[in-house]
Amino acid sequence: MTLRTGQAIAAILLLSPLPAMANEINAGDTAWMLTASALVLIMTLPGLSLFYGGLVRSRNLLSILMQCFTIACAMSLLWFVVGYSLAFSGDGAWIGNLDKAFLSGVTLDSVSGTIPESVFIVFQMTFIMITPALFVGGFAERMNFSAMLMYSVLWSLLVYVPICHWVWGGGWLGQMGLLDFAGGTVVHITAGVSAVVAAVVLGSRNGFPGKPMPPHNLGITVAGAGLLWFGWFGFNGGSQLAADGGAGMAILVTHLSAAAGSLAWMTVEWIRYGKPSVLGIVTGMVAGLGSITPASGFVGPLGGVIIGLSGGVICYFATQFIKGKLKIDDSLDVFPVHGVGGALGTLLAAVFISASWGGAGYAEGVSMASQLSVQAIGVVATVVYTAAVSYLLLKIVGLIVDLRVDGDTEQQGLDLAQHGETGYNL
């Protein structure tokens, strides 16, 4: 078996003249990719929605669910209109072309690698759905719904789609050899950076940090966490785009990293406060999963465990630093968990891909040092570009509508004020 560099393979298959055989659909690969698409869908709806929803105060539960749901729908249509085409059609270094706008030309017979192109489109669509849904956690409990919607759409078009093209669509980062199997840069860093930028631009929630804002329903948070873990099998395993040993290994290391991240975070809490907490363990799980994501197709089991452990510990301290020290109200800690975890995993991929660590081994002519520098470029480019564009977009949207709800609305809760509903009538 030869190493595939994650989803980039798809781009390559689409772009290059291929032997006839490769254009035949494999039912087994297709079966897995249909499933993987469904699995990534469940991560956003209802996985992430519940995970986040349980963490806010009860009067903002519905606003979180609504934001995640609306984003999921709007991004699906955006992907249909131009997103897919700009990301995956054409081989520009910076952006694709509009040949497949409105998915024109995609038929029953279109093939992408060994699967129908329709399946590749849906699979990738679930990625653009979840990425902006992730950053909702950064400005939770205070952002104005219409500003949120406008921002998410523009952001996806101007941040997600280009970076997706850079890394997986044949763009400059992919060409440079960046290893990002399932979205350490494309998904987690972009979401994390955008969340913290929004938190800063919008300002803290009223009462932060003095006033207690405990999660209102940790049960649904844990339910969401379970669905995230479940769905992540599709996220990382599906990024192989085939049902083979690569997908199997991706899932194995993903699973081990989740377990290791969970226990790492829990242990730190246990040592520091004498009490392991359920919020801690599920946050560690997300940290472990976010960290392994870029590396999942490249490393072996031991690499997975080590990445998970470091993700759990480092994201823990990053959380303390951002909220405790910097007093930035990234409400649900999106940056320290996803941003930091995604960057960590992108860098560590360069280490643990080494065959000596049980990984898939470096490509011809690549050393750990050279790979590490490519990874670092990928991380820095993603952070800088995302931060700059996110900031600009928020400022622009802020000229058109209020970014933030007013104080009374925040007091009363967004559910009632913005959506005319209440979460609980028990």
Question: Does residue 273 bind other proteins (CB under 8 A)?
Answer: yes
Question: Does residue 55 bind a second copy (CB under 8 A)?
Answer: no
Contacts of 425 (CB under 8 A, 6+ apart): none
From the list other proteins, a second copy, none, pick the one residue 324 interacts with, judged by a Cβ distance below 5 to 8 Å according to partner type.
Answer: other proteins
Question: Does residue 50 bind a second copy (CB under 8 A)?
Answer: yes
List the one residue from 5, 7, 14, 32 that touches a second copy (CB under 8 A): 32
Residues 296-355 that bind other proteins (CB under 8 A): 316, 319-320, 323-324, 333
**Inter-helix orientation angle 190-202/117-135, to 10°:** 30
Residues 352-371 that bind a second copy (CB under 8 A): 358, 360
List the one residue from 245, 400, 421, 424 that touches other proteins (CB under 8 A): 421
User: What is the C-alpha separation between 222 and 380, in angstroms, rounded?
Assistant: 33
Give me the amino acid identity at 112: S
Residues 274-293 that bind other proteins (CB under 8 A): 275, 277, 279-280, 283
User: What is the C-alpha separation between 404 and 397, in angstroms, rounded?
Assistant: 11
Question: Does residue 420 bind a second copy (CB under 8 A)?
Answer: yes
Q: Is the dihedral of CA 175, 176, 180, 183 positive or negative?
A: negative
Question: Does residue 258 bind a second copy (CB under 8 A)?
Answer: yes
Q: First CA to last CA across the chain, in angstroms?
A: 56
Give 112's strand partners: 115
With respect to a second copy, which residue has the nearer C-beta, 102 or 317? 102
Residues 94-153 that bind a second copy (CB under 8 A): 102-104, 106-111, 115-119, 121-122, 125, 145
Contacts of 36 (CB under 8 A, 6+ apart): 123, 233, 234, 235, 237, 238
Calculate the alpha carbon distances from 132 to 54, 139, 187, 212, 258 in Å. 19, 12, 9, 27, 22
* Minimum distance from residue 385 beta carbon to a second copy (Å): 27
Q: Are 4 and 298 in contact (CB under 8 A)?
A: no
Question: Does residue 82 bind a second copy (CB under 8 A)?
Answer: no
Q: What is the dihedral of CA 49, 54, 59, 65, to 10 degrees?
A: 10
**Total interface residues for other proteins by CB under 8 A:** 24
Q: How many CB atoms lie within 10 A of CB 154?
A: 18
From the list a second copy, other proteins, none, pick the one residue 318 interacts with, judged by a Cβ distance below 5 to 8 Å according to partner type.
Answer: none
* Minimum distance from residue 159 beta carbon to a second copy (Å): 20
Interface map 199-228 toward a second copy (x if CB under 8 A): ---------------xxxxxxx-xx-xxx-
Residues interacting with other proteins, by CB under 8 A? 209, 211-212, 214-215, 269, 272-273, 275, 277, 279-280, 283, 316, 319-320, 323-324, 333, 411, 416, 420-422
